[in-house]
Structure 1
Amino acid sequence: MEHEERFEKAVQVTGVGLFVNLGLTLFKLFAGILGNSTAMVADAVHSLSDFLTDIVVIFGFKVAKKPVDESHNYGHGKIETLSASLVGLMLLVVAGQILLYGLRRTLLFAQGGNLEQPALIALYAALLSVISKEFMYHYTILQARKINSMALTANAWHHRSDALSSLCTLAGIGAAIFLGGKWVVLDPLMAVFLSFIILNVALKIFRSSINELIEASLDEETEGQIREIIRNTEGVKAVSNLKTRRIGNNIAVDVRIKVDNALDIGEANRISIHVEHNLKKAFGPYTYVLVKAEPYEREPAGNPEDGKFPEHPMRSEKHDTCLRKQPIKKAKTTGYKDSRR
């Protein structure tokens, strides 16, 4: 998928969620107030955070799609990561608000206070929210995987957290309506329960995006895949000093490769180009790759005191390691003669 097309698709998907969240926020807030449901009011606040998050994500995609310029040599991909971190931060705030709100209502009931029984409109609103938000989760996560977007994935889980919270709200409101009496307390208790669900999702999103912003290395599985690709490139004898990081939905790889010390600079450079090509083929054309070729030499290993240094395996074909070897023209002699003779 082309660079521009990817961001257009991300904005389109997020835009659909924005309008869904706006409609749900208004309806759930109305149903929560009219239906005397603490859990539904809390759920409406969650949907409001989804709506605000969609605005942040769309803004992030608009900025992130800008091309490389003089002051941003690696593009603007980090803006997408920053958007994901803001999504996580908003979820943390919302989880805290819902937790406090639910605890206050629960304590009020425990101290002998009266909680009004929710009305059926709150139950209908919760059911509508579960169906619509679960649909939005599947729609968004499918598109996020297609375009490999961390911000869109975070937003998809935001939809899923809202669906789960609405499911809890549905159970609490249903029990409060049909069982009545002391079971009315299930309404605020469900608000407390769903706050922990939201908190768990928020921490995962926030931790992942912050790690990317501070340029943490890629996971071990991905780095292992990168090493395997480099080792399987013809002409590469060893891999060292692998450094990786993520830039938005792209990755950056900085690595040193060992090549036959009998090769000239041109041949070593061609092997480096093949390494870069293979990595971009595996991880996408916008992968940032920096390869430094060094001569492969025997290095001592083990304990120097025992006098045993195991040798590295050497290939017999010293001059046939290049995929596209071309003859190198020798420099012409200048014909300079010593004037002293």
Structure 2
Amino acid sequence: MPEPSDQHHDKGKTIRTVTLVGAILNVFLAVLKIGIGKFAGSQALVADGVHSFSDLLTDAVILLGSRYWMAPADSGHPYGHGKFETLANVFIGLMLALVGIGIGWDSIETLSDTPPPAPGMLAFYAAVAAIVMKELLYRWTMREAKHIHSAVLRANAWHHRSDALSSVPVAVAVITNAIFPSLKYLDQIAALLVTGMILKAAFEIIWPAFNELTDARGSEEVEKRLVHMAEEDKDIREIHAIRSRQTGGSLLLDCHILVDPEMSIENAHAISERFKQSVITKMDNVIDVVIHIEPYTCEERLVNPCSLDEQLHQQKKKPDR
């Protein structure tokens, strides 16, 4: 099994490589969209190009910030540096929202102006090329994000998808205007649709990050799996008080496990350590489990309360004080 430091190094390297490739493509697409948008007279394509340039800022945040949140736990941050990744997600989401609002505002202002000439077909070809390239980049980035359990890489993947989607109404508006020249303001309406898509993507990035910063429940699915693993362990009589919270792309868990009350402390500790290592090994995104050991007695049992006969039996077994 690789050492934690090696895993952090590999994960950080993947994040930086994927982000750097995305940044290079964003520069190319931004220049392409803005240049052709100006030449072909498409406000929507220019707005889409500005959106691509905004991706560069988030790419820079990831490239610089990943070295901080990928650092292992230390005395100053005993739970690790995962919250730096969460803050980066908030920044990416806010940047997306601001870009979307700016594009929408410009589009609304121009709706009151004299309708501009219909954009040239060159804008359509540029938009289609952007859709294909950014969709491919989204799929690759999302695949890598799932592979290394990176929330910030997943957020950036959605940033790429929002850029691809924002080019769709641009392409539709240009081709529709070419077929029906009498239709006015299609380009501005397409820019407003771009705004809606960008704001939706921003919300989908910010909301999970907000929940993480407020220590909302990490993962109900992981908690259920933890119960299942405890039930399969013959030395664990019961598990309860399970809690989970997210930190960056990882999960922290804590729980109470009940064992034979006549077992030695040493054996009970060995069971908890074995169970902890099993959970961390089998659940890739879990980085730590804090386990509180309790005796399997009527006073401690919550999931399977004692019957009246069991309570009387345990009372008889208690030594007189």
Structure-2-length-normalised TM-score: 0.88
1:24–1:47 CA contact under 8 A, matched in 2: yes
Distance 2:75 2:207 in 1: 30
Q: Is 2:212 the partner of 1:188?
A: no
Amino acid at match of 2:201: V
Which of 8, 11, 16 does residue 21 from structure 2 map onto? 16
Which of 65, 72, 79 does residue 77 from structure 2 map onto? 72
> How much has 1:313 moved relative to structure 2?
8.8
1:251–1:287 CA contact under 8 A, matched in 2: yes
Distance 2:120 2:300 in 1: 78
Instruction: Please list the CA deviations of residues 95-123 of structure 1 after superposition, one character each: whole Å capped at 9, or x if unmatched.
Output: 21122222222343xxxx23222123322
SS in 2 for 1:287: strand
Q: Is 2:175 the partner of 1:178?
A: no
Distance 1:147 1:128 in 2: 29
State the match for 2:115 in structure 1: 114
1:301–1:309 CA contact under 8 A, matched in 2: yes
SS in 2 for 1:292: strand
State the match for 2:155 in structure 1: 154
> How much has 1:88 moved relative to structure 2?
1.1
Task: Report matched runs for 1:211-290 at 5 Å.
Answer: 211-284=211-284, 287-290=287-290
Instruction: Please list the CA deviations of residues 175-212 of structure 1 after superposition, one character each: whole Å capped at 9, or x if unmatched.
Output: 1233212x231111111112111211211110011111
> How much has 1:295 moved relative to structure 2?
0.8
2:43–2:187 CA contact under 8 A, matched in 1: yes
Aligned-pair identity (%)? 32
Task: Report matched runs for 1:56-67 at 5 Å.
Answer: 56-67=61-72
SS in 1 for 2:184: helix
SS in 2 for 1:242: strand
State the match for 2:58 in structure 1: 53
Closer, same or farther: CA 311–279 of 1 in aligned 2, 3 Å? farther
Distance 1:208 1:128 in 2: 31
Amino acid at match of 1:4: H
State the match for 1:327 in structure 2: none
Distance 2:33 2:120 in 1: 13
Instruction: Please list the CA deviations of residues 259-278 of structure 1 after superposition, one character each: whole Å capped at 9, or x if unmatched.
Output: 11111101110111122012
State the match for 1:103 in structure 2: 108
Closer, same or farther: CA 90–84 of 1 in aligned 2, 3 Å? same
Distance 1:226 1:217 in 2: 15
2:253–2:286 CA contact under 8 A, matched in 1: no
Distance 1:238 1:54 in 2: 46
State the match for 2:307 in structure 1: 310
Distance 1:241 1:128 in 2: 53
Distance 1:28 1:300 in 2: 65
Amino acid at match of 1:32: G
Which of 81, 86, 94 does residue 86 from structure 2 map onto? 81
Gaps of 5+ in 1: 303-307, 315-341
Distance 1:36 1:285 in 2: 48
> How much has 1:162 moved relative to structure 2?
0.7
Structure-1-length-normalised TM-score: 0.83
State the match for 2:294 in structure 1: 294
Closer, same or farther: CA 311–207 of 1 in aligned 2, 3 Å? farther
2:8–2:71 CA contact under 8 A, matched in 1: no
Closer, same or farther: CA 34–87 of 1 in aligned 2, 3 Å? same
> How much has 1:309 moved relative to structure 2?
6.7
Q: Which has the higher helix share?
A: 2
State the match for 2:97 in structure 1: 92
1:6–1:147 CA contact under 8 A, matched in 2: yes
Distance 2:278 2:310 in 1: 24
Aligned residue pairs, count: 304
2:251–2:285 CA contact under 8 A, matched in 1: no
Distance 1:51 1:98 in 2: 17
Instruction: Please list the CA deviations of residues 34-54 of structure 1 after superposition, one character each: whole Å capped at 9, or x if unmatched.
Output: 221111111011101111111
Distance 1:73 1:300 in 2: 30
Gaps of 5+ in 2: 312-321
Distance 1:150 1:167 in 2: 26
Which of 28, 36, 51 does residue 33 from structure 2 map onto? 28
Q: Which has the larger displacement, 292-301 or 135-144?
A: 292-301
Distance 1:91 1:227 in 2: 39
Q: Which has the larger displacement, 215-224 or 293-302?
A: 293-302
2:128–2:168 CA contact under 8 A, matched in 1: yes
